[in-house]
Structure 1
Amino acid sequence: MKIKNPLRLAIPALLAAQATLVFANSPYTATADPLQPYYQQLVTQSLEKQQGRLDLSKVPDVADVDILAINQEIKDFLDQQVRPIPGLRERAFMLHNLLFRPYYLGITYDDSQTYTAQETFDKGAGNCISHASLFVAAARYVGLKAKFQVVEVPRDWVQSEDYYIVPGHINVAVYIPGNKITVEFSDVYLAQHTQFFKSKAVSDTRALAEYYNNRGMEAMQLKDYLSAIAYMQKSLKTHRNSGFVWSNLGVVYKINGHMAEAQQAYERGLKLDKQNLSIINNAYILYYQTGQLDKAQSLAAKVESYSKKNPYYLAKLASADINLHNYKQAVTKLKRAISKKPEEPAFHFTLSHVYYLLGNQDLAVRQLQIGQKNAINNEDQQRFQHKLNLLQHYQAGL
């Protein structure tokens, strides 16, 4: 179909997450890096933090799920409110309004829960994949051609205890004669922007695999590792060519001491997606920690480039500098980290502390004020204010 004039519909999106292990060693393994002893210590600590080995024979079964099934109640609602609208474009916009606008059903965004289309309707909330599934199911029922769509978005990192989560993105495309409507679901990504990102329509099978992967990621965050493995294996049985799911499975194996299984999973992922920097990073760390230095070295250049883009990795380098009293180098790295993720409170607190160590209390106060301005919730704003009060009282000699 030739798309003459793309349209935009600001509705929610679907999240496809992948995990990258906390990078705890230097990529510069072939050079005499003055920080190398510090990284060697971090590597040792990382290995010591691994969980006890899981009994993989106890991995539960995961029942088949139809994420697009909707009941008669939803169908009756759509028959009354949406299907009678004659224009396809107008029908798509009305469907959006009815499902997500607060003055209609007002289904809300909750990034902590992955639901099917039916569950999203019943609970009135869900994350991106939940919203996308409901919209696709409802749109098809009222005669719209709707597909899940993978979108390449700027890389971001969300820190967890033992790994980072690198969010992906899937939205919905609705095709009408001569046009494509890009459908988004949250304020994280705007349709006005994502319509210009590289995107690709994907099958329902791929979307179902994303659903199982998300459920596995949620279980991993709860440290329910057997369920995490079960859901990721289910994802791979559904769609075996998802390299990042193999990598996620490898992360779970590695956290729980199954190094051989982790390596096998990473290498399966790399065969499918040779350019995925999260998989490359995860494989590099495993090779380095298990003494496979030739294999690690073959990935080192790509890992170095990847790591420099990760604000949390830059903050780790800054922490190493602080431990070695290299405060000016720490300032440089922390500024780079803040430029990549200004809403992260820890970066501002650490930079303020470094300024204080350098004897510049004015800059320390100023950095706390900048952090408070960038804080995205009241709790973080109050933490900044508490630190500001303490530092300003100290300056005043109180």
Structure 2
Amino acid sequence: MKHTAILLSAFCLMILAGCASTTQKLVDNPNLHFADQAFPGFRQVEIESEEEVFALDDYMRDFVDKHTFRVEDPKQRIKKLVAGIFDRSHMNLLYVSDANTSARDTFHNRSANCLSMSIMTYALADYAGMDVSFQDVQVPEFWTRRGGFSLMNGHINLRVMPRNEHNTTYVRKGGMEVDFDPMIFKVRFPSEGISKRRVLAMYYNNKAADFLVRQNYAAAYAYVRSALVAEPNLSEAWVNLGVLYRHNEMLDEAEGVYNLAISINDNRSAQENLAFVYRMTGRDEQAEAIMAYLQTKRTSNPFYHYMLGQEELDQKHYQDAIEHFREAIRLNRNQHEFYYALAKTYYQMGDLVATERYLRLAKRRAIFDQDEDRYQNKINLLTQL
């Protein structure tokens, strides 16, 4: 089966949020792997600076001041600010997986994914005088489908602590871990601290993936190049660069950066994309060896079966799609997306009874209000048929 995998920040979804673990090899000179001449016009793309991505305006400062006014205890200040961010009555924030926006745009658009929410919260908490750090959460491989691509998602969250003042030291700071994906609270995944610079690279990488899906290759190259200049060891960005090269028939260059991503942290998406290049260049035996290895690593991952089901659904192979979605549910019964995928499949097959059944099951497991409302609207439309 041919996959066109691409990393997306992820849960933060989107196209790349980064789920890299400990680096094994350092990339000293990313410029050696760029192909500027192949993407004329990329220098005309305006890339947001780090200051612009994390900038606050007066409305955001007022929001912080309002929620921390007259709260002297640093731990209570953290709780009040975080509660204000989560409180829909204050900001009415909606979770949108591909909303890759700056702190300011996230605040005013009131829609975000975990990466943009984390960036916004970092900026707000920093202004409030708190110590804030990003954490890369080691979630299982998780894919979504968009524009014919399989998008690999990573996940990050925040650690917020009282800031030590010149005359005050907190022996036990008692900070908070702030996570914008409620599913993470059901399973405790390991995490590691990452730099603000790395998060900026993830943001650029997500933007690159967005443009790649839209086939705006000059903009995609501009953003993924910026991601790798900011953080040369972000393996997911090398994968996205490889996908970009492959879509521009630069197979040798794609193969090179896929191997580079693998050398950094044994990146599985890079391995799968490398297998795809091997198939395209007649090296079927090497491709099959990679895919067999990945299969042994992925069979117990429900999101892998979900991705395969989505690909079968795209090709109108309905029974095969159903088998994959059912296997995903067998492995994890709490993901509303799995039930919705079955509902879509049965709808395409003309089975409206099964469609409604799985829509109701999806609604029952929905976490966010907008997902629950979306499923109810679809159920209402079905009952009118």
**TM surpasses 0.5:** yes
1:169-180 to 2 correspondence within 5 Å?
169-176=155-162, 177-180=172-175
How far, CA to CA, are the matches of 1:265 and 1:331 in structure 2? 35
Question: Among residues 19, 31, 40, which one is paired with 1:57 in the alignment?
Answer: 40
Question: Among residues 192, 196, 200, which one is paired with 2:185 in the alignment?
Answer: 192
Q: Residue 10 of structure 1 corresponds to which residue in structure 2?
A: none
1:1-398 to 2 correspondence within 5 Å?
15=12, 17-18=14-15, 55-60=38-43, 61-63=45-47, 64-66=49-51, 67-71=53-57, 74-75=60-61, 78-79=64-65, 81-82=67-68, 84-176=70-162, 177-185=172-180, 188-190=181-183, 192-193=185-186, 196-274=188-266, 276-305=267-296, 308=299, 309-314=304-309, 332-333=323-324, 335-339=326-330, 343-344=337-338, 345-348=340-343, 350=345, 367-376=354-363, 377-378=374-375, 380-381=378-379
How far, CA to CA, are the matches of 1:170 and 1:319 in structure 2? 30
How far has the Cα of 1:193 moved from its partner? 3.3
In 2 relative to 1, CA 118–335 (structure 1 residues): closer, same or farther, beyond 3 Å? Answer: closer
Q: What is the letter of the counterpart of residue 86 of structure 1?
A: E
How far, CA to CA, are the matches of 2:313 and 2:104 in structure 1? 47
The answer as to whether partners of 1:16 and 1:168 remain within 8 angstroms in 2 is yes
Extract unaligned runs of 5+ from structure 1: 1-12, 20-53, 357-363, 390-398
How far, CA to CA, are the matches of 2:274 and 2:298 in structure 1? 14
Task: Give 3-state SS (helix, strand or coil) of 1:179's partner.
Answer: coil
Task: Give 3-state SS (helix, strand or coil) of 2:182's partner.
Answer: coil
How far has the Cα of 1:96 moved from its partner? 1.9
How far has the Cα of 1:161 moved from its partner? 3.3
Query: Scaled by the length of structure 1, what TM-score is found?
Result: 0.69
How far, CA to CA, are the matches of 1:75 and 1:318 in structure 2? 47
Q: What is the letter of the counterpart of residue 193 of structure 1?
A: K
Task: Give 3-state SS (helix, strand or coil) of 2:98's partner.
Answer: coil
Q: Residue 38 of structure 1 corresponds to which residue in structure 2?
A: none
In 2 relative to 1, CA 83–214 (structure 1 residues): closer, same or farther, beyond 3 Å? Answer: farther
Q: What is the letter of the counterpart of residue 372 of structure 1?
A: L
The answer as to whether partners of 2:40 and 2:218 remain within 8 angstroms in 1 is no
Q: What is the letter of the counterpart of residue 84 of structure 2?
A: L
Moved more, 205-214 or 72-81: 72-81
Q: What is the letter of the counterpart of residue 281 of structure 1?
A: E
How far, CA to CA, are the matches of 1:141 and 1:260 in structure 2? 46
Task: Give 3-state SS (helix, strand or coil) of 2:71's partner.
Answer: coil
- Sequence identity of aligned pairs in percent? 22
How far has the Cα of 1:285 moved from its partner? 1.4
Q: What is the letter of the counterpart of residue 358 of structure 2?
A: G
The answer as to whether partners of 1:318 and 1:333 remain within 8 angstroms in 2 is no
Task: Give 3-state SS (helix, strand or coil) of 1:310's partner.
Answer: helix
In 2 relative to 1, CA 264–235 (structure 1 residues): closer, same or farther, beyond 3 Å? Answer: same
Task: Give 3-state SS (helix, strand or coil) of 1:93's partner.
Answer: helix
Task: Give 3-state SS (helix, strand or coil) of 1:70's partner.
Answer: coil
How far has the Cα of 1:205 moved from its partner? 0.5
1:54-90 CA distances to partner (integer Å, 9 max, x unpaired)? 9523323443332223245544653464264122221
Q: What is the letter of the counterpart of residue 88 of structure 1?
A: P
How far has the Cα of 1:181 moved from its partner? 1.0
The answer as to whether partners of 1:318 and 1:334 remain within 8 angstroms in 2 is no
Extract unaligned runs of 5+ from structure 2: 1-9, 17-36, 163-171, 364-373
In 2 relative to 1, CA 320–108 (structure 1 residues): closer, same or farther, beyond 3 Å? Answer: closer
How far has the Cα of 1:104 moved from its partner? 3.0
How far, CA to CA, are the matches of 1:319 and 1:101 in structure 2? 37
Moved more, 305-314 or 112-121: 305-314
Query: Scaled by the length of structure 2, what TM-score is found?
Result: 0.71
Moved more, 364-373 or 174-183: 364-373
Q: What is the letter of the counterpart of residue 41 of structure 2?
A: K
How far, CA to CA, are the matches of 2:322 and 2:14 in structure 1? 31
1:112-151 CA distances to partner (integer Å, 9 max, x unpaired)? 3322223333444433222212211221222211111111
Q: What is the letter of the counterpart of residue 65 of structure 1?
A: E
How far, CA to CA, are the matches of 2:66 and 2:362 in structure 1? 44
